[in-house]
Amino acid sequence: MMSAYYAGLLADVGILLLGGLSVYIILATGQLSLGNAGFMGIGAYMTSYLTVIAGLPITLALIVTAVVSGAIGLVVGFPALRLKGIYLAMATLGFGEMVRSFFLNLGAMGGSEGFHGMHHISLGYIWTWAAAILLLIVVLERSRVWLDMRAVRDDETAAGLVGLNATTIKVGAFGFGAAVAAISGGLFAHHHVYIEPGNFSFERSIDFVLAVILGGSTVGPGALIGAVLLVMLPEYLRFLAEWRFAAFGALLVAMLLVRRQGLLDRASLRVFALRRTA
């Protein structure tokens, strides 16, 4: 029987993994999104509304929410096409803040008082979703779809010349990422059984990005390593008491210095594969 403490931490890892993956998907096309907490918030509130007020079962609620959030992601993806690099990042930052402000004012879902009533879900349920989506992405990474995405990221003009529709790919990535972030939000809401707008701030968006960059920004499982790091490190650093966060910040910088592509990259995974066939 697993210690409840580690179970709780693993639940956090699963939820953060999905958030990281949502950033990873969009990043794979060369777009940095600093506002995915907004999609997570949409997922959390919509799923909670569906289970608590509309009485839907959780799995159905998550699917519906993912579809709706994906649609919103597609809508966001279109204007995002006009922006590049850090400008896109700032626009997504603004988007995330606007979503948070929206929920703060949404009295029907509690506003700043937050929203209650969700039923609790198990660790197994969270990880079923997390593992399934991770697996999906790992499979997609070996497919043509991901190759197209990387092509668009590396050189959009060349990709266009080869016949790829950069618009579809980039907008589609936003939609897919938004859907995954929404699932993360729905699981979050039913794990903590209480949500408030403050849960979906810029800090959360940055956590997602951190998980991907630290864990490995070029491969899907990188988000898993990053999520484990971000959840477990503050726990292991408890012995430092009031210097805990300074140490965390220092470790963050150190990790980036030592290995800037993140802990995992394609070479690491390839080594694993070679060992298996050898």
Partner 1 sequence: MAGSSPAMKGGLPNAGVYRLPFPVGYRGETIHVLAQQLVNGLTLGAVYTLIALSFSLVMGILGVLNLAITELFMLGGYFGFAVIMAHLPLPLALAAGMAGAAIVAIVIEKLGYQPFRTAPLVTPMLSTLGFSIILQNIATNVWGSDPLQLTDEVLAQRYTLGGVSVSAMQLTVMGATIVLVAALAFVVQRTSMGRALRAVAENRDVARLLGVSASRITLIAFMLSGALAGAAGVLIGLHYAAITPYIGVEIGLKAIAVMVIGGTTQIWGALIAGPLIGVLEVMTVAYGGSQVRDFVVYGFMILILLLRPQGLLGGSRSDQGQRV
Partner 2 sequence: MTSHWNKALWAAGLGAALTVGAALLPVRAQTAEIALGAIVPSSGPFAEWGRANTVTLQMLEKQVNDGGGINGAKLHIVILDDATKPAQATNDLRKLSGDDHVLAVAGPLTSSAAEVTFPVANEMKTVATSQASSKPGVAKLNRPWAFRNTIDEGVLGRTAVPYFKKAFNIKTVAIIFDAKDATAATVGGKIMPALMKENGIEVVNATDPLSFNTGDLDVSAQVTKMKALNPDGVVVSADYSQAVTVLREMKRQGMIKPVIGSTQLISSAILKAAPEIPIIAPATFYATMKGDKPEKFVAALQPLLRKTSGLPPEIEPSMYDANIYEIASIYIAAIKASGVTGKPENLEADRTKIRDYMAKLEGFPGLGGPIGFNDDGDAIKAFYVLQGQNGTWDSKVRGCSAAPGHPGC
Tell me which residues touch partner 2 (CB under 8 A). 1-9, 12, 104, 111-114, 116, 120, 192-194, 196-199, 228, 234-235, 238, 241-242, 244-245, 259, 263-264, 267-268, 271-272
The torsion defined by the Cα of 47, 50, 53 and 58, in degrees rounded to 10, comes to: -80
Look at the alpha carbons of 240, 207, 232, 42 in this order and tell me if their dihedral is positive or negative.
Answer: positive
Phi, psi of 82 (to 5 degrees): -75, -15
Shortest CB 63 distance to partner 2, Å: 25
CA-nearest of 197, 191, 198, 212 to 255 is 212
Q: Which is nearer to partner 1, 59 or 105 (CB)?
A: 105
Q: 153 vs 191, which CB is nearer to partner 1?
A: 153
Return d(Cα 190, Cα 15) in angstroms, integer: 11
Is residue 148 near partner 1 by the rule CB under 8 A? no
Closest approach, Cβ 46 to partner 2, in A, equals: 19
Q: Which is nearer to partner 1, 7 or 83 (CB)?
A: 83
153's tokens:
């990221």
- Closest Cα partner for 268 from 220, 203, 204? 220
Work out whether 101 is an interface residue with partner 1 (CB under 8 A).
Answer: yes
Q: Which of 8, 68, 74, 102 binds partner 1 (CB under 8 A)?
A: 102
163/242 with CB nearer partner 2: 242
E-assigned strands of the chain? 115-116, 194-195
Q: Fill in the amino acid letter for 237.
A: L
Q: What is the dihedral of CA 163, 217, 23, 88, to 10 degrees?
A: -70
DSSP-assigned beta bridge partners for residue 195: 115
Stretch that binds partner 1, among 12-20, 42-50, 182-190, 210-218 (CB under 8 A): 210-218
* CB of 33 or CB of 47, closer to partner 1: 33
Question: Using the rule CB under 8 A, which residue among 257, 273, 274, 278 binds partner 1?
Answer: 257
Shortest Cβ 145–partner 1 spacing (Å):
21
State in angstroms the smallest separation of the CB of 247 from partner 2: 11
